[in-house]
Amino acid sequence: MLMFAIKREGKLIDFDHIREKTDRDLKIDEESTRRALDTLIDKGLILKKGELYTISAKGRQLFSESFKEWKEDLLKINKTWTTVYEALNYYDRVADVVLKYCKDRHVGFYCTFTQQHFFRRQFKGRYITLNNKEDLMNFVQMFCIDVIPCVHRIGSDRPDWLVIDLDAGAKVGFDKVKEVAKVCYDVMEKLDLKPAMKFSGSRGIQLWSLLKEFEIPPEWNPLPMLRERRKR
């Protein structure tokens, strides 16, 4: 059901695709996959339309209500899909806030797919922009789970965001990162920088503050944006 739950409402999936994933993640054969689907259909959790399958409203509700209970097992089955499911639910709640920070800017994404992690700032050869919630949710469904707005607006190379990026090394616990982030936040508040805090990657925190007009040093020379994807 995890595979169905991360698809948009009404998305139909053919049996061969389902079979490929159950073989990879659950190590079960074709007959067992068909029996499992038939059981879910009998319970009204999955709908069959011709030779295609989709999750029902009842199935989506049950999965949502049971997610916390099932999460530990789901992470063992497919960590990437589980993370994407959580990201979809998160961005569904905070999309309006996120889009405010992405207005008039190109954005990049930290992406995760089949245990690989990479940064993406282009889609179909064009820099990414987010104009509405649908744009945002479509990219999250493509396993783009962390939104990173450019620090300057489209058409300008003048930064107007100050970003403090706190990344934990292998020997630093996340509690220490949160402690440092709290200190930074308090200092920025005292300086009237009105910081906003966001998670970054799996164990990082960023603090963002919109800057007022300031004089750019004449020797400042911004680096051009890289076109290729950078693997992490």
pLDDT value of position 200? 77
Write the pLDDT tens digit of every residue in 16-57.
999 999 999 999 999 999 999 999 999 999 999 999 999 999
Mean pLDDT, the chain, as a whole number?
A: 89
* Residue pair 129/110 in contact by the 8 Å Cβ criterion: no
> For the chain, which residues make up each domain, given as ranges?
2-77, 78-150, 153-223
Asked if 4 contacts 74 with a C-beta cutoff of 8 angstroms, the reply is: no
Choose between 210 and 44: higher pLDDT.
44
Question: Long-range contact list for 152-161, CB < 8 A, 24+ apart?
Answer: 152/105, 153/104, 153/105, 154/104, 154/105, 154/106, 154/129, 157/222, 158/216, 159/211, 160/210, 160/211, 161/208, 161/209, 161/210, 161/211
Mean pLDDT score, 105-129: 89
At 230, the pLDDT band (50, 70, 90 cuts) reads: very low
pLDDT, average across residues 121-142: 95
Confidence at 211, pLDDT banded by 50, 70, 90? confident
Predicted structure pTM score: 0.81
Choice among 40-44, 116-120, 141-145, 150-154 with the minimum mean pLDDT: 116-120
pLDDT over 90 (residue 159): no
In the prediction, which pLDDT does 170 show?
77
At 67 the pLDDT is 97
Yes or no: domain 2-77 corresponds to CATH 1.10.10.10: yes
Confidence at residue 224, expressed as pLDDT on a 0 to 100 scale: 67
Mean pLDDT (whole number) for 84-98: 94
The tokens 């295609």 sit on which residue?
52
User: What are the tens digits of pLDDT across the range 7-18?
Assistant: 999 999 999 999
Q: CATH classification of 153-223 is 2.20.25.10, yes or no?
A: no
pLDDT of residue 202: 65
Residue 226 has pLDDT above 60, yes or no: no
pLDDT at 105 over 70: yes
Give the pLDDT score at 219.
82
209-212 long-range CB contacts below 8 Å, 24 or more apart? 209/161, 209/162, 210/160, 210/161, 210/162, 211/159, 211/160, 211/161, 211/162
- Greatest Cα pair distance in the chain: 70
Give the residue-averaged pLDDT of 201-205.
76
How many C-alpha atoms does 123 have within 13 Å on its Cβ side? 16
